[in-house]
Protein backbone atom coordinates (compact mmCIF):
# COMPACT_ATOMS: atom_id res chain seq x y z
CA UNK A 1 0.00 0.00 0.00
CA UNK A 2 1.33 3.41 -0.90
CA UNK A 3 1.58 5.22 2.35
CA UNK A 4 2.41 8.54 0.77
CA UNK A 5 -0.80 8.57 -1.28
CA UNK A 6 -2.79 7.98 1.88
CA UNK A 7 -1.15 10.95 3.52
CA UNK A 8 -1.92 13.21 0.59
CA UNK A 9 -5.57 12.26 0.79
CA UNK A 10 -5.71 13.85 4.22
CA UNK A 11 -5.25 17.28 2.71
CA UNK A 12 -8.71 16.88 1.23
CA UNK A 13 -10.37 16.48 4.63
CA UNK A 14 -12.65 19.22 5.84
CA UNK A 15 -10.88 21.61 8.21
CA UNK A 16 -10.57 19.90 11.54
CA UNK A 17 -12.60 21.19 14.42
CA UNK A 18 -12.85 20.09 17.98
CA UNK A 19 -15.94 18.43 19.32
CA UNK A 20 -17.35 17.52 15.95
CA UNK A 21 -17.81 13.85 16.69
CA UNK A 22 -21.10 11.95 16.49
CA UNK A 23 -22.11 11.48 20.12
CA UNK A 24 -22.67 7.80 19.79
CA UNK A 25 -19.16 7.26 18.47
CA UNK A 26 -17.28 8.90 21.29
CA UNK A 27 -20.03 8.04 23.76
CA UNK A 28 -19.80 4.41 22.75
CA UNK A 29 -16.06 4.48 23.37
CA UNK A 30 -16.56 5.87 26.86
CA UNK A 31 -19.21 3.27 27.66
CA UNK A 32 -16.96 0.47 26.45
CA UNK A 33 -14.07 1.82 28.47
CA UNK A 34 -16.27 2.14 31.55
CA UNK A 35 -17.51 -1.43 31.19
CA UNK A 36 -13.97 -2.70 30.73
CA UNK A 37 -12.83 -0.89 33.87
CA UNK A 38 -15.79 -2.34 35.72
CA UNK A 39 -14.68 -5.84 34.83
CA UNK A 40 -11.05 -5.08 35.62
CA UNK A 41 -11.66 -3.46 38.96
CA UNK A 42 -14.71 -5.31 40.16
CA UNK A 43 -14.33 -4.45 43.82
CA UNK A 44 -14.31 -0.72 43.40
CA UNK A 45 -17.06 -0.82 40.86
CA UNK A 46 -19.13 -2.86 43.29
CA UNK A 47 -18.47 -0.43 46.11
CA UNK A 48 -19.29 2.51 43.86
CA UNK A 49 -22.52 0.98 42.60
CA UNK A 50 -23.52 -0.11 46.10
CA UNK A 51 -22.84 3.34 47.53
CA UNK A 52 -24.82 5.02 44.77
CA UNK A 53 -27.65 2.50 45.02
CA UNK A 54 -27.98 3.04 48.75
CA UNK A 55 -28.13 6.82 48.40
CA UNK A 56 -30.61 6.64 45.55
CA UNK A 57 -32.77 4.05 47.37
CA UNK A 58 -33.07 6.10 50.53
CA UNK A 59 -33.70 9.31 48.66
CA UNK A 60 -36.31 7.78 46.40
CA UNK A 61 -38.13 6.15 49.33
CA UNK A 62 -38.40 9.59 50.87
CA UNK A 63 -39.50 11.09 47.55
CA UNK A 64 -42.15 8.39 47.19
CA UNK A 65 -43.31 8.85 50.77
CA UNK A 66 -43.74 12.57 50.31
CA UNK A 67 -45.42 11.89 47.02
CA UNK A 68 -47.88 9.61 48.85
CA UNK A 69 -48.54 12.38 51.33
CA UNK A 70 -48.79 15.28 48.93
CA UNK A 71 -49.85 14.08 45.50
CA UNK A 72 -53.56 13.59 44.78
CA UNK A 73 -54.48 10.03 45.62
CA UNK A 74 -57.86 8.31 45.83
CA UNK A 75 -60.08 9.61 47.35
CA UNK A 76 -58.08 12.71 48.30
CA UNK A 77 -57.93 13.91 44.74
CA UNK A 78 -58.19 17.57 45.72
CA UNK A 79 -55.18 17.68 47.98
CA UNK A 80 -53.72 20.73 46.28
CA UNK A 81 -56.88 22.70 47.18
CA UNK A 82 -57.41 21.27 50.66
CA UNK A 83 -56.89 23.07 53.96
CA UNK A 84 -57.68 22.04 57.51
CA UNK A 85 -58.95 23.90 60.53
CA UNK A 86 -58.44 21.57 63.46
CA UNK A 87 -58.37 23.73 66.51
CA UNK A 88 -59.11 27.02 68.12
CA UNK A 89 -57.61 29.12 70.89
CA UNK A 90 -59.82 31.14 73.20
CA UNK A 91 -58.13 33.82 75.21
CA UNK A 92 -59.23 35.93 78.14
CA UNK A 93 -57.82 39.35 77.25
CA UNK A 94 -57.97 40.48 80.88
CA UNK A 95 -56.07 37.64 82.54
CA UNK A 96 -54.20 36.38 79.49
CA UNK A 97 -55.34 32.83 80.19
CA UNK A 98 -55.67 30.73 77.06
CA UNK A 99 -57.77 27.68 76.35
CA UNK A 100 -56.58 25.67 73.42
CA UNK A 101 -58.72 23.00 71.85
CA UNK A 102 -57.91 20.52 69.10
CA UNK A 103 -61.29 20.90 67.42
CA UNK A 104 -64.04 23.38 66.65
CA UNK A 105 -67.78 23.53 67.26
CA UNK A 106 -70.60 23.05 64.76
CA UNK A 107 -71.25 26.79 64.87
CA UNK A 108 -67.77 27.47 63.52
CA UNK A 109 -68.36 24.93 60.78
CA UNK A 110 -71.67 26.54 59.82
CA UNK A 111 -70.04 29.96 59.63
CA UNK A 112 -67.15 28.57 57.60
CA UNK A 113 -69.58 27.48 54.92
CA UNK A 114 -70.66 31.09 54.45
CA UNK A 115 -67.16 32.40 53.73
CA UNK A 116 -66.59 33.57 50.15
CA UNK A 117 -63.27 31.73 49.71
CA UNK A 118 -64.72 28.39 50.75
CA UNK A 119 -65.78 26.00 47.99
CA UNK A 120 -66.69 23.06 50.16
CA UNK A 121 -66.47 22.04 53.82
CA UNK A 122 -66.52 18.59 55.36
CA UNK A 123 -66.09 17.59 58.99
CA UNK A 124 -64.60 14.72 60.93
CA UNK A 125 -64.82 14.26 64.67
CA UNK A 126 -61.68 13.77 66.73
CA UNK A 127 -63.37 10.85 68.43
CA UNK A 128 -61.54 7.54 68.04
CA UNK A 129 -63.34 4.99 70.15
CA UNK A 130 -62.53 1.33 70.13
CA UNK A 131 -65.66 -0.14 68.70
CA UNK A 132 -66.68 -3.45 67.31
CA UNK A 133 -68.98 -4.61 64.58
CA UNK A 134 -71.31 -7.40 65.59
CA UNK A 135 -70.95 -9.93 62.80
CA UNK A 136 -73.81 -12.17 61.70
CA UNK A 137 -71.83 -15.19 62.94
CA UNK A 138 -71.92 -13.82 66.50
CA UNK A 139 -68.33 -12.75 66.76
CA UNK A 140 -67.31 -9.16 67.27
CA UNK A 141 -64.61 -7.60 65.15
CA UNK A 142 -62.87 -4.27 65.69
CA UNK A 143 -63.72 -1.60 63.15
CA UNK A 144 -62.18 1.76 62.45
CA UNK A 145 -65.09 4.12 61.93
CA UNK A 146 -65.04 7.85 61.24
CA UNK A 147 -67.86 10.20 62.26
CA UNK A 148 -68.28 12.62 59.38
CA UNK A 149 -70.88 14.87 57.81
CA UNK A 150 -72.33 14.87 54.29
CA UNK A 151 -69.78 17.52 53.25
CA UNK A 152 -67.03 14.96 53.80
CA UNK A 153 -68.14 13.08 50.71
CA UNK A 154 -68.07 16.27 48.65
CA UNK A 155 -64.53 17.05 49.68
CA UNK A 156 -63.29 13.49 49.15
CA UNK A 157 -64.25 11.71 45.95
CA UNK A 158 -65.15 8.17 46.89
CA UNK A 159 -66.03 5.57 44.25
CA UNK A 160 -69.34 4.08 45.23
CA UNK A 161 -69.83 0.47 44.22
CA UNK A 162 -73.47 0.81 45.15
CA UNK A 163 -75.66 3.38 46.82
CA UNK A 164 -74.52 6.87 47.75
CA UNK A 165 -73.47 8.84 50.81
CA UNK A 166 -76.01 9.96 53.39
CA UNK A 167 -77.63 13.31 52.72
CA UNK A 168 -77.49 16.49 54.72
CA UNK A 169 -80.96 15.76 55.94
CA UNK A 170 -79.96 12.26 57.08
CA UNK A 171 -77.09 13.78 58.93
CA UNK A 172 -79.16 16.55 60.47
CA UNK A 173 -81.72 14.07 61.71
CA UNK A 174 -79.06 11.71 62.98
CA UNK A 175 -80.61 8.87 61.08
CA UNK A 176 -77.74 6.42 61.71
CA UNK A 177 -76.94 5.94 58.06
CA UNK A 178 -73.59 4.41 57.28
CA UNK A 179 -71.26 4.11 54.32
CA UNK A 180 -69.26 0.89 54.41
CA UNK A 181 -66.05 0.26 52.57
CA UNK A 182 -65.84 -2.78 50.34
CA UNK A 183 -63.36 -4.31 52.77
CA UNK A 184 -65.81 -4.32 55.69
CA UNK A 185 -68.73 -5.30 53.47
CA UNK A 186 -66.87 -8.37 52.28
CA UNK A 187 -65.72 -9.21 55.76
CA UNK A 188 -69.15 -8.97 57.39
CA UNK A 189 -71.55 -9.88 54.60
CA UNK A 190 -69.32 -11.71 52.16
CA UNK A 191 -70.35 -9.38 49.32
CA UNK A 192 -70.24 -5.75 48.26
CA UNK A 193 -73.58 -5.60 46.45
CA UNK A 194 -77.17 -5.81 47.52
CA UNK A 195 -76.37 -4.19 50.85
CA UNK A 196 -78.09 -0.83 50.53
CA UNK A 197 -80.95 -0.68 52.99
CA UNK A 198 -79.59 -3.54 55.10
CA UNK A 199 -78.65 -3.15 58.75
CA UNK A 200 -75.25 -3.49 60.36
CA UNK A 201 -74.77 -3.43 64.13
CA UNK A 202 -71.76 -1.56 65.43
CA UNK A 203 -71.17 -1.17 69.10
CA UNK A 204 -74.65 -2.58 69.61
CA UNK A 205 -76.24 0.20 67.63
CA UNK A 206 -78.01 -0.44 64.34
CA UNK A 207 -77.00 1.49 61.24
CA UNK A 208 -78.67 1.44 57.85
CA UNK A 209 -76.29 0.95 54.98
CA UNK A 210 -76.75 3.72 52.43
CA UNK A 211 -73.68 3.02 50.31
CA UNK A 212 -70.68 0.78 49.75
CA UNK A 213 -67.54 2.56 48.55
CA UNK A 214 -64.09 1.43 47.46
CA UNK A 215 -61.78 1.64 50.46
CA UNK A 216 -59.20 4.38 50.59
CA UNK A 217 -55.51 3.52 50.65
CA UNK A 218 -54.10 3.78 54.16
CA UNK A 219 -51.73 6.46 52.93
CA UNK A 220 -54.77 8.66 52.29
CA UNK A 221 -54.20 9.44 55.88
CA UNK A 222 -56.85 12.13 56.31
CA UNK A 223 -59.78 10.22 54.84
CA UNK A 224 -58.97 6.63 55.62
CA UNK A 225 -61.51 4.57 57.60
CA UNK A 226 -63.38 1.31 57.27
CA UNK A 227 -66.82 2.86 57.67
CA UNK A 228 -68.28 6.35 57.77
CA UNK A 229 -71.31 7.55 59.62
CA UNK A 230 -72.78 10.87 60.67
CA UNK A 231 -72.57 11.94 64.28
CA UNK A 232 -74.42 15.15 64.30
CA UNK A 233 -74.33 16.53 67.83
CA UNK A 234 -74.52 13.06 69.28
CA UNK A 235 -72.53 12.48 72.46
CA UNK A 236 -72.13 8.81 71.68
CA UNK A 237 -70.19 9.86 68.64
CA UNK A 238 -68.01 12.02 70.77
CA UNK A 239 -69.50 15.29 69.62
CA UNK A 240 -69.28 18.33 71.88
CA UNK A 241 -69.08 22.07 71.36
CA UNK A 242 -69.08 25.11 73.57
CA UNK A 243 -70.39 28.63 72.95
CA UNK A 244 -66.85 29.93 72.29
CA UNK A 245 -66.02 27.89 69.27
CA UNK A 246 -64.25 24.97 70.88
CA UNK A 247 -65.44 21.52 69.99
CA UNK A 248 -64.64 18.08 68.69
CA UNK A 249 -64.79 18.72 64.96
CA UNK A 250 -62.05 19.06 62.39
CA UNK A 251 -62.90 21.00 59.25
CA UNK A 252 -61.66 19.92 55.84
CA UNK A 253 -61.99 22.85 53.48
CA UNK A 254 -61.68 23.07 49.71
CA UNK A 255 -60.51 26.45 48.52
CA UNK A 256 -58.74 28.00 45.57
CA UNK A 257 -56.90 30.57 47.70
CA UNK A 258 -55.60 29.45 51.08
CA UNK A 259 -54.32 32.86 52.09
CA UNK A 260 -57.64 34.49 51.32
CA UNK A 261 -59.32 31.77 53.34
CA UNK A 262 -57.00 32.40 56.28
CA UNK A 263 -57.91 36.09 56.16
CA UNK A 264 -61.61 35.25 55.93
CA UNK A 265 -61.41 32.92 58.92
CA UNK A 266 -59.64 35.56 60.97
CA UNK A 267 -62.31 38.06 60.07
CA UNK A 268 -64.94 35.55 61.09
CA UNK A 269 -63.19 35.00 64.41
CA UNK A 270 -63.00 38.74 64.96
CA UNK A 271 -66.74 39.04 64.34
CA UNK A 272 -67.44 36.19 66.73
CA UNK A 273 -65.22 37.73 69.39
CA UNK A 274 -67.22 40.93 69.00
CA UNK A 275 -70.43 38.96 69.51
CA UNK A 276 -68.98 37.35 72.65
CA UNK A 277 -68.15 40.77 74.06
CA UNK A 278 -71.61 42.07 73.26
CA UNK A 279 -73.19 39.31 75.26
CA UNK A 280 -70.83 39.88 78.19
CA UNK A 281 -68.45 36.93 77.72
CA UNK A 282 -64.85 37.23 78.82
CA UNK A 283 -63.45 35.16 75.94
CA UNK A 284 -62.16 36.05 72.52
CA UNK A 285 -61.00 33.84 69.72
CA UNK A 286 -57.37 34.22 68.73
CA UNK A 287 -56.51 34.55 65.04
CA UNK A 288 -55.60 31.21 63.49
CA UNK A 289 -52.03 30.07 63.83
CA UNK A 290 -50.91 26.50 63.31
CA UNK A 291 -54.50 25.31 63.63
CA UNK A 292 -55.10 26.35 60.04
CA UNK A 293 -52.89 24.48 57.63
CA UNK A 294 -52.82 23.59 53.97
CA UNK A 295 -52.51 19.93 53.09
CA UNK A 296 -48.95 20.12 51.86
CA UNK A 297 -47.70 21.62 55.12
CA UNK A 298 -49.73 19.13 57.14
CA UNK A 299 -48.16 16.31 55.15
CA UNK A 300 -44.66 17.62 55.76
CA UNK A 301 -45.06 17.80 59.52
CA UNK A 302 -44.22 14.85 61.71
CA UNK A 303 -44.86 14.17 65.35
CA UNK A 304 -41.67 15.57 66.71
CA UNK A 305 -41.76 18.77 64.77
CA UNK A 306 -44.20 21.62 64.73
CA UNK A 307 -46.28 22.55 61.73
CA UNK A 308 -43.81 25.21 60.77
CA UNK A 309 -43.71 24.78 57.01
CA UNK A 310 -40.38 26.50 56.60
CA UNK A 311 -38.78 24.44 59.32
CA UNK A 312 -40.14 21.22 57.85
CA UNK A 313 -38.96 22.15 54.40
CA UNK A 314 -35.55 23.00 55.80
CA UNK A 315 -35.46 19.63 57.51
CA UNK A 316 -36.34 17.95 54.23
CA UNK A 317 -33.66 19.86 52.36
CA UNK A 318 -31.07 19.05 55.03
CA UNK A 319 -32.06 15.38 54.89
CA UNK A 320 -31.55 15.34 51.14
CA UNK A 321 -28.23 17.14 51.46
CA UNK A 322 -27.09 14.63 54.07
CA UNK A 323 -28.20 11.74 51.88
CA UNK A 324 -26.29 13.36 49.03
CA UNK A 325 -23.21 14.62 50.85
CA UNK A 326 -22.06 11.47 52.60
CA UNK A 327 -22.14 9.19 49.55
CA UNK A 328 -20.61 11.93 47.40
CA UNK A 329 -17.65 12.21 49.78
CA UNK A 330 -17.22 8.44 49.80
CA UNK A 331 -17.56 8.08 46.08
CA UNK A 332 -15.16 10.96 45.57
CA UNK A 333 -12.61 9.04 47.59
CA UNK A 334 -13.10 5.97 45.43
CA UNK A 335 -12.85 7.96 42.21
CA UNK A 336 -9.81 9.79 43.52
CA UNK A 337 -8.15 6.44 44.09
CA UNK A 338 -9.12 5.32 40.64
CA UNK A 339 -7.81 8.51 39.07
CA UNK A 340 -4.42 7.85 40.60
CA UNK A 341 -4.17 4.59 38.74
CA UNK A 342 -5.22 6.31 35.51
CA UNK A 343 -2.72 9.15 35.71
CA UNK A 344 -0.46 7.65 33.09
CA UNK A 345 -3.41 7.17 30.75
CA UNK A 346 -4.42 10.76 31.24
CA UNK A 347 -0.87 11.88 30.55
CA UNK A 348 -0.80 9.94 27.28
CA UNK A 349 -4.16 11.35 26.22
CA UNK A 350 -2.92 14.85 26.94
CA UNK A 351 0.26 14.11 24.99
CA UNK A 352 -1.88 13.25 21.98
CA UNK A 353 -3.84 16.46 22.20
CA UNK A 354 -6.71 15.95 24.59
CA UNK A 355 -7.77 19.15 26.32
CA UNK A 356 -8.66 19.26 29.98
CA UNK A 357 -12.31 19.80 29.12
CA UNK A 358 -12.35 16.73 26.92
CA UNK A 359 -10.75 14.59 29.60
CA UNK A 360 -13.14 15.87 32.26
CA UNK A 361 -16.09 15.09 29.98
CA UNK A 362 -14.65 11.64 29.41
CA UNK A 363 -14.28 10.92 33.12
CA UNK A 364 -17.73 12.24 33.92
CA UNK A 365 -19.24 10.23 31.07
CA UNK A 366 -17.47 7.01 32.07
CA UNK A 367 -18.44 7.57 35.65
CA UNK A 368 -22.01 8.15 34.60
CA UNK A 369 -22.18 4.55 33.43
CA UNK A 370 -21.49 3.38 36.98
CA UNK A 371 -23.70 6.02 38.54
CA UNK A 372 -26.53 5.12 36.20
CA UNK A 373 -26.21 1.43 37.06
CA UNK A 374 -26.16 2.31 40.74
CA UNK A 375 -29.25 4.49 40.29
CA UNK A 376 -31.16 1.72 38.55
CA UNK A 377 -30.27 -0.69 41.34
CA UNK A 378 -31.21 1.98 43.88
CA UNK A 379 -34.57 2.63 42.29
CA UNK A 380 -35.36 -1.09 42.23
CA UNK A 381 -34.33 -1.28 45.87
CA UNK A 382 -36.57 1.70 46.70
CA UNK A 383 -39.54 0.05 45.01
CA UNK A 384 -38.81 -3.12 46.90
CA UNK A 385 -38.66 -1.29 50.21
CA UNK A 386 -41.93 0.52 49.57
CA UNK A 387 -43.70 -2.54 48.21
CA UNK A 388 -42.50 -5.02 50.81
CA UNK A 389 -41.39 -2.80 53.68
CA UNK A 390 -44.76 -3.11 55.33
CA UNK A 391 -45.59 -1.49 58.61
CA UNK A 392 -41.93 -0.90 59.43
CA UNK A 393 -41.54 1.27 56.41
CA UNK A 394 -44.81 3.15 56.88
CA UNK A 395 -43.96 3.94 60.49
CA UNK A 396 -40.51 5.18 59.55
CA UNK A 397 -42.03 7.42 56.90
CA UNK A 398 -44.45 9.00 59.35
CA UNK A 399 -47.69 7.19 58.58
CA UNK A 400 -48.41 6.41 62.21
CA UNK A 401 -52.10 5.90 61.47
CA UNK A 402 -51.10 2.73 59.66
CA UNK A 403 -50.81 0.90 62.97
CA UNK A 404 -54.50 1.35 63.62
CA UNK A 405 -55.62 -0.66 60.69
CA UNK A 406 -52.85 -3.01 59.71
CA UNK A 407 -51.13 -3.56 56.47
CA UNK A 408 -53.77 -5.11 54.29
CA UNK A 409 -55.00 -1.69 53.29
CA UNK A 410 -51.65 -0.43 52.13
CA UNK A 411 -51.47 -0.82 48.42
CA UNK A 412 -48.39 0.41 46.65
CA UNK A 413 -50.11 0.91 43.34
CA UNK A 414 -48.51 1.55 40.02
CA UNK A 415 -49.52 5.21 40.08
CA UNK A 416 -47.69 5.63 43.37
CA UNK A 417 -44.53 3.72 42.55
CA UNK A 418 -44.13 4.86 38.98
CA UNK A 419 -45.10 8.47 39.33
CA UNK A 420 -43.12 10.67 36.90
CA UNK A 421 -41.65 12.61 39.79
CA UNK A 422 -39.90 9.44 40.98
CA UNK A 423 -38.11 9.00 37.67
CA UNK A 424 -37.27 12.66 37.33
CA UNK A 425 -35.97 12.79 40.89
CA UNK A 426 -33.88 9.65 40.34
CA UNK A 427 -32.31 11.04 37.21
CA UNK A 428 -31.56 14.41 38.80
CA UNK A 429 -30.07 12.77 41.86
CA UNK A 430 -28.03 10.48 39.65
CA UNK A 431 -26.61 13.42 37.70
CA UNK A 432 -25.91 15.35 40.88
CA UNK A 433 -24.06 12.48 42.52
CA UNK A 434 -22.10 11.80 39.37
CA UNK A 435 -21.01 15.36 38.86
CA UNK A 436 -20.26 16.15 42.48
CA UNK A 437 -18.44 12.89 43.16
CA UNK A 438 -16.33 12.81 40.00
CA UNK A 439 -15.63 16.42 39.18
CA UNK A 440 -13.25 17.39 41.94
CA UNK A 441 -11.06 14.27 41.96
CA UNK A 442 -10.87 14.39 38.17
CA UNK A 443 -10.03 18.09 38.12
CA UNK A 444 -7.33 17.71 40.74
CA UNK A 445 -5.67 14.77 39.02
CA UNK A 446 -5.74 16.43 35.61
CA UNK A 447 -3.80 19.33 36.99
CA UNK A 448 -0.69 17.15 37.20
CA UNK A 449 1.87 17.84 34.48
CA UNK A 450 2.00 15.31 31.66
CA UNK A 451 5.47 14.03 32.40
CA UNK A 452 4.70 13.52 36.07
CA UNK A 453 1.53 11.65 35.17
CA UNK A 454 3.33 9.34 32.82
CA UNK A 455 6.16 8.74 35.26
CA UNK A 456 3.61 7.18 37.61
CA UNK A 457 3.47 4.16 35.35
CA UNK A 458 7.23 3.72 35.43
Partner 1 sequence: MTMETVIKLTEVNKIYRTEEVETQALENVNLEVYKGEFLSVMGPSGCGKSTLLNIMGLLDEPTSGMVELCGTTIGRNLSDNQLAEFRNKTLGFVFQSFHLISSLNVIDNVQLPLMYRGVPYGERIRRAKEVIERVGLSHRMKHTPVQLSGGQCQRVAIARAIIGNPEIILADEPTGNLDSKMGADILGLLKQLNEEDGRTIVMVTHNEQQARQTSRIVKFLDGRQME
Partner 2 sequence: MRVILKSLWARRKQNAWICAELVLVSIVSWFVLDPLFVIVHDTFVASDGYDPDRLCILSTHGKEEIPGEESIRCIEAIKTKLKNLPEVESVSLTYERGFPNGDGQIETYYSLPDDTVHWLLSSCLHFHRGEDLYKTLGLKVLSGKPEEGDATITKSLALALFGRTDVAGATIYEYYNLPAFATPDEHRPLRISAVVEDIRMEKMANWKYGVFWERSNLFVGQESDLLVRLKDGVDATTFCAQIRPTMQKELSSGRLFVCKAVSMDELVDHHLRFQGVTGSIRRYVSLAVFFMVNLCLGTIGTFWLQTRKRKEEIGIMRAFGASKRRIMRAFLSEGFVLTTLCHLLGCFLFLQYAASYGLSLGIINYQELRPFLVRAGDTWLLHFVPHFLAVGTFIYLVILLTVSIGIAIPAWNICRGKPVEAIK
Q: Does 95 bind partner 1 (CB under 8 A)?
A: no
Q: Which is nearer to partner 2, 50 or 260 (CB)?
A: 50
Beta strand residue intervals within 203-305, DSSP E: 205-213, 227-230, 249-254, 284-285, 292-294
**Whole-angstrom distance, CA of residue 334 vs CA of residue 330:** 6
Strands 120-125 and 249-254: antiparallel
Q: Is the peptide bond before 231 cis (omega within 30 degrees of 0)?
A: no
Listed residue (190, 183, 178, 182) closest to 136, CA to CA: 190
Listed ranges 268-276, 389-397, 438-446, 450-458: which one lies at the site for partner 2 (CB under 8 A): 389-397
Q: Is 333 in the site for partner 2 (CB under 8 A)?
A: yes
Backbone angles phi, psi at 450, to 5 degrees: -60, -45
Interaction partner, residue 197 (partner 2, partner 1, none; CB < 5-8 Å by kind): none
Assess 115 for contact with partner 2 (CB under 8 A): no
Residues in contact with partner 1, total (CB under 8 A)?
Answer: 43
With binding defined as CB under 8 A, does residue 344 bind partner 1?
Answer: yes
329 touches partner 2 by CB under 8 A: yes
Q: Are 134 and 206 in contact (CB under 8 A)?
A: no
Region 204-263 residues binding partner 2, contact defined as CB under 8 A: 204
3-state secondary structure of 418: coil
Distances (CA, A) of 186 to 135, 194, 195, 220, 312: 11, 12, 10, 21, 40
Residue 5 binding partner per list partner 2, partner 1, none, with a CB distance cut-off of 5 to 8 Å that depends on partner kind: none
- Cβ contact 159:199 at 8 Å: no
- Of 307, 275, 152, residue with least CA distance to 267: 275
Cα–Cα distance, 260 to 83 (Å, whole number): 12
Q: Closest separation between CB of residue 2 and partner 1, Å?
A: 9
Q: 351: Cβ–Cβ under 8 A, 6 or more apart, which residues?
A: 450, 454
Provide, rounded to whole angstroms, the least separation between the CB of residue 449 and partner 2: 17
Identify which of residues 38 and 179 has a Cβ nearer to partner 2 in the complex.
Answer: 38
Q: Answer yes or no: are the C-beta atoms of 442 and 364 closer than 8 Å.
A: yes
What span, in angstroms and rounded, lies between the C-alpha atoms of 34 and 15? 31
Interactions with partner 2, residue window 119-178 (CB under 8 A): 130, 132, 139-140
Q: Does 311 bind partner 2 (CB under 8 A)?
A: no
- Minimum distance, C-beta of residue 395 to partner 1, in the bound complex (Å): 47
358 binds partner 1 (CB under 8 A): yes
Q: Which is nearer to partner 1, 13 or 204 (CB)?
A: 13
Please, which residue, 336 or 361, has the CB nearer to partner 1?
Answer: 361
- Pattern of binders to partner 2 over 284-303, x per CB under 8 A? ------------------xx
* 436 counts as binding partner 2 under rule CB under 8 A: no
The answer to the question of residue 313 lying near partner 2 (CB under 8 A) is no
Strand 205-213 versus strand 199-202 pairing type: antiparallel
Q: Which helix (H) or strand (E) holds 331?
A: helix 309-341
CA–CA dist 436, 427 (Å, integer): 14
At 227 the three-state DSSP class reads strand
Verify binding: residue 55, partner 2, rule CB under 8 A: yes
| Interface pick for partner 2 out of 31, 35, 44, 443 (rule CB under 8 A) | 44
Q: Where on the chain is the footprint of partner 2 (CB under 8 A)?
A: 43-44, 47, 50-51, 54-55, 58, 130, 132, 139-140, 204, 302-304, 322-323, 326-327, 329-330, 333-334, 337, 340, 392, 395-400, 403-404
Q: Where on the chain is the footprint of partner 1 (CB under 8 A)?
A: 1, 3-4, 6-7, 10, 13, 16-22, 24-26, 29, 32-33, 36-37, 40, 344-345, 347-358, 449-451, 454, 457-458
Amino acid sequence: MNFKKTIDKQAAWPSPHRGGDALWGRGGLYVRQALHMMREDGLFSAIYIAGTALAVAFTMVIVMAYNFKIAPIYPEVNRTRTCYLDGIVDVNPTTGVQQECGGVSQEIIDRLKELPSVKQVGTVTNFRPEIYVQRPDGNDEPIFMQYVDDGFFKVYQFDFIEGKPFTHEDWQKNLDKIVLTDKVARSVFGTTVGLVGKTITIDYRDYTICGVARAANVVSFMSYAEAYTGGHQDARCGYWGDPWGKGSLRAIILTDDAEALRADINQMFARLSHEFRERGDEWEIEPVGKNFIVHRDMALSTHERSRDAEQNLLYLVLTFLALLFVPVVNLSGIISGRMESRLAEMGVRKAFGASKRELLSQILAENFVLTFLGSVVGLLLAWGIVRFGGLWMLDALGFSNASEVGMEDFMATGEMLFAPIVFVATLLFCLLINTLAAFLPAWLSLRKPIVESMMEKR
